[in-house]
Amino acid sequence: MKPTSSWRTLYIPLVLALAAGVSVGVSLMSCGGRDSDRVRVDLGNRLKKLSDTQDAFAGVAALAQEWVVSITVRESRRPRNFLDLFFTPPEQVKGGSGVVVEPSGWILTNRHVVEGATSLDVVFADGSQYKGVRYKAARDTDIAFVKINGGPFETAPIGDSDEVRVGDWAIAVGSPFSFDQTVTVGVISAKGRKISQGRGGSYETFLQTDAAINAGNSGGPLLNLRGEVIGINTAIFSPTRTYAGIGFAIPINRAERLFRHLDKEVVPASADNPAWLGVSVRDLLEEEQVQLGVEGGLVVLQVTPRSPASRAGLREFDILLGVDGAPVWTRSDLIDILEEKEPGEEVALKFLRDRTIVEVECRLGKRE
């Protein structure tokens, strides 16, 4: 029996459809294969980048073992009353970290780590131990230098904290809770954080990081991915007094300025002979800057009688704009400039009084 024409009408389109489906399926399978290859290549490249970053972290950690140290401090405690004679231990032990910055054995750390010490023990990653023979601390900043004998010692590479960007990797190394050579990783969370430090409520400018910092990290380095020191870990913000994601490091450029101005005995010049101006100031508010037509400055709140500033003619409510040609737009600017000066040195003060720019010479003094 021959197929009817109606059967042919149905059969031929069906065959053509099946053939087209097979063709499309092969084409889709072919495209799917190429997409999978691209995904594999892209994933491989990303894993390679992650592996390179991981290798960088491990390399920095290994490098830091040569010049990051643990510091153990013992300080005597005087009894304040009769009960202290029985219930207060005569000696307190505390710990911190440090960074070797001079082959002859000078170690950079925090002032609050070593201040009041009756003895200092410095321990390297290989277990070698040295006695701190002396230390010197800058007065208006939380920076100190500890001297050990021996060497020559490997020294830390110093970076440029002015070039640090928010979002850059940050690696903290130190001895939190006496766990020496502990490495934590985070990023630079912010720059230019101002926190009251030192005597007289002076302000320091900090790098902020979320790399974990705890008790014992103080004085240890904050590093970049090249293994360079960009800051000295100093403080945390936390209601529990333990890591809460906000830590602060003194920019290394500030510490390096102190170290560059050491005297012959390798003592920070500002530790015993700080240059003194004799003013109390505050930063000029933004609306005040607009009103006065200046980019920044310091409002003089008080001039100490018989101080260098007083003898130079500076008055209350003057707007201090510069010292020796350098602008002073914040209190930190003024502190940085004075740290590089010596008592008896003459400087040029530039200030605004009654909308008139005034420039006078001032001989800096020594704060007693």
Residue-wise pLDDT tens digits, 25-50: 444 444 555 666 676 667 777 777 77
Res 267 pLDDT > 50: no
The DSSP string of 323-365 is ETTEE--SHHHHHHHHHT--TT-EEEEEEEETTEEEEEEEE-E
- Rg of the Cα atoms in the chain: 32
- Stretch(es) of the chain classified as CATH 2.40.10.10: 68-148, 161-261
Query: Whole-model pTM?
Result: 0.61
What tokens appear for 42 in the block? 């892209």
The active-site residue out of 70, 97, 112, 189 is 112
Res 153 pLDDT > 50: yes
The neighbour count for residue 207, using CB atoms within 10 Å, is 27
Q: Are 298 and 280 in contact (CB under 8 A)?
A: no
- Stretch(es) of the chain classified as CATH 2.30.42.10: 273-366
273-366, CATH topology level: Pdz3 Domain (2.30.42)
What tokens appear for 161 in the block? 């904290």
What is the CATH code of the structural domain delimited by 161-261? 2.40.10.10
The active-site residue out of 218, 270, 307, 332 is 218
Q: Are 302 and 280 in contact (CB under 8 A)?
A: yes
pLDDT at 286: 85
Tell me how far apart the alpha carbons of residues 354 and 185 are, in angstroms, rounded to a whole number: 51
Bridge partners of residue 351, in order along the sequence: 320, 358
Residue with tokens 């529990």: 240
The active-site residue out of 121, 140, 142, 318 is 142
Residue 261 falls in the annotated catalytic set: no
What tokens appear for 96 in the block? 């911190």
Confidence of residue 261 (pLDDT cuts 50, 70, 90): low
Tell me how far apart the alpha carbons of residues 157 and 64 are, in angstroms, rounded to a whole number: 10
Class (C level, CATH) for 68-148? mainly beta
